[in-house]
Amino acid sequence: MSTLLTRLDELRDKAFGELKNLTSATDLEAFRVKYLGRKGAITGVLRELGSIEPEQRANVGAEANKLKNELTSAFEKHQESLKSKSIPDSKVDLTLPGRSRFLGKKHPISRTIDDIIDIFYSLGFSVAEGPDVETEWYNFDALNTPDDHPARDLADTFYIKDNILLRTHTSPVQIRTMENNKPPVRIIAPGRCYRKDTPDASHAPNFFQTEGLYVDKDVTFSDLKGVINIFARRLFGPEIKVRFRPHFFPFTEPSAEYDFSCLICKGDGCRACKHTGWVEISGAGMVDPAVFEAVGYDPEKYTGYAFGMGVDRITMLRYGIADIRYLYDNDLRVLRGI
Ligand code: PHE
């Protein structure tokens, strides 16, 4: 048998074997060039016809053409079937809606802290910071909080070891600031605080406060009320009402707790305000002279006010969140909606 006929047989096996596995347009084109092109394998055989016995030429030529025709039609069929399976013309359909990408955003607590900072900046306050892990001196003693105060109890506070604890409020930043600065002092201090509270709708073992402190000559309680009122209106709008209730804190005298009117029910009473129409924000008062003495300020010369703010409460009020745990569960279904 002519060697060219053998070659044609081998070519047939190889080509049909390869054709089945072609999937891309590039592979198809490479296949076409390799076997069916002007310089392809079949043409190669035809070119060699001149070198064989004349009586075999017709036969080999016919076989080569037959293979070419069969392969061409098989090739076209395969090409068609690939096309029908893929995207038309494998072009992008620009009319399809785009895939939306999830964009992260700031946590509602961070947004509230940013807004609190903006408002107090505009009133001349700067931002101070202190560590989350505190000593008893900064968290209690320097704040005139005696040994038998319930906040110092192991049951209420996370102690790391003797004398070292997770701060229960941001008030230690008052002490740190006054130790390092002479009056006048006008700061706010946002940050995380920790208490051994069992979680429920309004308690979490970690939460956020923002402390405020203003010390100068002739600072009065009405300055304190004024600044809290301005803050409330800037953050919540002119409708908001603020009330102060007498209270006790070891580090302020006189002391008060203050509430904002509930914006969820507009003061009528709802679950979020425990049907009182008011939401407790935190405590405030005039800095106790004992605190000034602890940091070396002259209480005869200076007066000052201090306040705390429950950032979580304010956030819940702003966004209408009924349960503080929503802020800490990291459930994206909730956080995305806020
Ligand atoms: N530190 C107090 C608390 O956490 C709040 C407070 C701050 C009270 C400043 C008076 C002055 O409850």
For ligand 1, say whether the CB of 307 is within 6 Å of any of its atoms. Answer: yes
pLDDT at position 86, please?
A: 61
What integer is the mean pLDDT of 75-104? Answer: 79
pLDDT at position 26, please?
A: 87
pLDDT at position 82, please?
A: 81
Task: Identify the residue whose C-alpha is closest to ligand 1 atom 12.
Answer: 283
307 CA: nearest ligand 1 atom: 9
Ligand 1 geometric centre to CA of 222 (Å): 18
Highest CATH level, class, for 108-335: alpha beta
Ligand 1 geometric centre to CA of 81 (Å): 76
168 CA: nearest ligand 1 atom: 4
Ligand 1 geometric centre to CA of 122 (Å): 23
CB distance 252 to 285 below 8 Å: yes
Q: Which residues of 4-18 are buried (b: 16+ CB within 10 A; e: fewer)?
A: bbebbeebbeebeee
* 218-274: pLDDT as tens digits: 999 999 999 999 999 999 999 999 999 999 999 999 999 999 999 888 888 887 788
Residue 9 has pLDDT above 60, yes or no: yes
DSSP E strand boundaries for the chain: 126-127, 133-135, 159-161, 164-166, 185-194, 206-216, 242-249, 252-261, 278-287, 303-307
How sure is the predictor about 2, in pLDDT bands with cuts at 50, 70 and 90?
A: low
Residue 327 has pLDDT above 90, yes or no: yes
Placement of tokens 């060039």 in the chain: 33
pLDDT at position 153, please?
A: 87
For ligand 1, say whether the CB of 310 is within 6 Å of any of its atoms. Answer: no
How far is the C-alpha of 221 from the C-alpha of 306, rounded, in Å?
A: 10
What integer is the mean pLDDT of 66-95? Answer: 81
pLDDT at position 87, please?
A: 55
Give me the amino acid identity at 257.
E
Ligand 1 geometric centre to CA of 235 (Å): 20
Numbered ranges of CATH 3.30.930.10 in the chain: 108-335
How far is the C-alpha of 202 from the C-alpha of 54, rounded, in Å?
A: 102
For ligand 1, say whether the CB of 283 is within 6 Å of any of its atoms. Answer: yes
* 146-194: pLDDT as tens digits: 888 888 888 899 999 999 999 999 999 999 999 999 999 999 999 999 9
